[in-house]
Structure 1
Amino acid sequence: MDTVYYHNLFTVCSRQDKTKSFALKCLKKKHIVDTKQQDHIVSEKNLLLECKSLFITRLYRTYKDRKYVYMLMEVCLGGELWTIMRDRGCFDNNTTKFFVACVVEAFDYLHRKGIVYRDLKPENLLLDAEGYVKLCDFGFGKKIGHGRKTWTFCGTPEYVAPEIILNKGHDLSADYWSLGILMFELLTGSPPFSGADPMQTYNLILRGMDMVEFPRKINKSAQHLVKKLCRDNPAERIGYQRDGLRDIKKHKWYQGFDWEGLINKRVSPPISPRIKNAIDSSNFDSYPKDNEEAPDEMSGWDADF
């Protein structure tokens, strides 16, 4: 295998076929145990192996040795959506519409399976070589089924739904709240609720979306959809009604959008990544390589890897 390093991922390709590449996620087992992340990693592995969607990064195989667990994944060389947004400041209406539509399709797939994602944010959205967005990082994902709640407090503070903060129990509708936050952030460059620390952020969230002043760059139909997604009452959120995500797809903001073309990859993405070859990681931020040798970890929590 030929490899190129970025963060805790390597891009790898076969020496026999240099055009076919993968992402190899390498995780130190000792660090996972020290931070009590075993259940998250096992859950992520199981969920990703079950998911086969154009809008979710594929996990092909897992491996382990004495020091690491490894996930061989679909490579997305277009980089993180967060990096692109940071460099551009924000996105226009049509660009945001495309990216959010990719997430809607990912959620449609997950929610049919009774899986709640719970970690939507631009950092967890990757662009493939064509510019289509894929959901990655399923450490907070959980299979809860339909009509059931879960009580784990998790997520990125700016994206956490009010019922999670209040420990009332949450279900698939928590993902619709985060979809509204994502829309707002992509259109403006910053989330609607952001305090100096997590507690201040949570207090702002609990005041509700009606207290947020929308910039003029968010048009009326986009404002309407954000507010429908971010209703305080989870049962009232668009996407959670009887017609499910079809209500989002039929919303005025998406009038004329080619959903079938999106699913069949006939829609031209608004951003086309520049990629030189199958292991070109230049669209990702570079990180210093971790040269510290990982210690052995043999407790056996990774038996199924």
Structure 2
Amino acid sequence: MYSRKGLGTPKEGPYRSDADVHDGYTEQQQEQYSKYLKKLKSDFDESWCKKSKTNMNFNEYERIKTLGTGAFGRVVLLKHVKSSKLYAMKVLEKEKIVKMRQVEHTLYEKRILESIRFPFTVCMEFSFKDNSYVYFIMPFVPGGEMFTHLRRMGKFEEPLAKFYASQVILALEYLHFCNLVYRDLKPENILIDKTGYLKITDFGFCKILQGRTWTLCGTPEYLAPELILSKGYGFSVDWWSFGVLLFEMCAGYPPFYANDPMKTYEKIVGGKYRCPSSFNSDLRDLIRNILQVDITHRFGVMKGGVMDYKNHKWFRGLEWECILNCRTQPPFVPKYRGPGDTTNFDRYDDEPIKTASRCQYDADFTDF
């Protein structure tokens, strides 16, 4: 198996359409859904402009165990002592953020997590800071990372890959509608809920985009050609990453990979990959239309937009509104023994959170 190093629902409730269900997705359905997305964007804009308030007493919470680690800190399972409600607390060390020049990205991530509300993305419950750290408190998603399950299964069977792919498409459509480019799509950044549905997490590279941007960020195997070539890019990079994700879900390994990152980049820029013999013709056609080096021919970017996905043959028979409202029976549901079960996460050594006696980097985190 190839290895790589490196919550909430909309405020107004489930989406409902008056359009008849068809095999595929009609213009009428998409028109009604666009009205729904406009309402979600209005909610996002309203939340973005609000100044967040946090009234959290850390003494009311108990740290259970570490769920994951990263370059800037760790994610810890947290329990409210009185209610027993569980949270995932992302602990980020100020010093590391400043040294790696990620202050702006961290502030962006906080505001984005506070503002987004979509079934297939995580969200922020609240946040706070102390002398040494900043903390993001989010709902606990107990099913673990998609990467963990992909590693265990080797690859996903087509119904499961299709189920996950449809949710990622809807999540990217929502984020792009809110003018957000995600820039770090990969199995490690997708969590599986106890119901079997997914939630995209880790918005550290996400930003509001007007026009183009040039920042080089993401995971090497998932970088789009235009990002590698420093041409300036937009939402197209997320659709390329989706194509890589789809390939990896169905094959068990990414389409572009080499031991040397520079050789990986050469393969990406050249658009050189080979589909396994297990891929059927519809899946091959879909991937071919996504992994287009020329963005003018890439699905999600062309005139048809997301409709090119929703009406593709590989998704034939899928009811998009049932997916959105979580009414489709998931092909796979993670084992979950009850509140606090963390068996779907890797084991990590727990480390104490040591807070400095004086406030560090106060000026850098004034707006936090």
TM range (shorter): over 0.9
State the TM-score, normalizing by the size of structure 1: 0.94
Counterpart residue number, 2:175: 110
Which of 78, 84, 94 matches 1:12? 78
Please state if 1:70 is matched with 2:135: yes
Counterpart residue number, 1:46: 111
Distance 2:274 2:135 in 1: 45
Letter in 1 for 2:222: Y
Cα deviation, 1:114-138, whole Å, max 9, x if unaligned, reads: 1111101000000111111111111
Distance 1:168 1:215 in 2: 31
Question: For structure 2, which runs of at least 5 residues remain unmatched after alignment?
Answer: 1-60, 69-73
Quote how far apart the aligned CAs of 1:87 are: 1.1
Cα deviation, 1:35-81, whole Å, max 9, x if unaligned, reads: 22111111111111121001100112110000110001121110000
State the TM-score, normalizing by the size of structure 2: 0.79
Further displaced range: 184-193 or 27-36: 27-36
Please state if 1:215 is matched with 2:276: yes
Counterpart residue number, 2:241: 178
Please state if 1:288 is matched with 2:288: no
Quote how far apart the aligned CAs of 1:153 are: 0.9
Cα deviation, 1:250-297, whole Å, max 9, x if unaligned, reads: 100000001111111101112211222222221101111224735552
Count how many residue pairs are aligned between Structure 1 and Structure 2.
300
Cα deviation, 1:166-194, whole Å, max 9, x if unaligned, reads: 11111001111111100110111110100
Quote how far apart the aligned CAs of 1:93 are: 0.7
Secondary structure of 2:112 counterpart? helix
Call closer, same or farther: CA 1:238–1:224 in 2, change over 3 Å: same
Which of 266, 271, 280 matches 2:327? 266
Further displaced range: 291-300 or 66-75: 291-300
> Contact 1:28–1:294 (CA<8 Å) still a contact in 2?
no
Superposed CA RMSD in Å reads 1.4
Counterpart residue number, 2:292: 231
Letter in 2 for 1:3: R
> Contact 1:81–1:126 (CA<8 Å) still a contact in 2?
yes
Question: For structure 1, which runs of at least 5 residues remain unmatched after alignment?
Answer: none
Q: Greater CA radius of gyration, 1 or 2?
A: 2
Distance 2:96 2:237 in 1: 29
Further displaced range: 232-241 or 74-83: 232-241
Secondary structure of 1:293 counterpart? coil
Distance 1:171 1:62 in 2: 29
Identity percentage of aligned residues: 38
> Contact 2:189–2:202 (CA<8 Å) still a contact in 1?
yes
Distance 1:247 1:167 in 2: 27
Distance 1:259 1:198 in 2: 37
Distance 1:163 1:254 in 2: 27
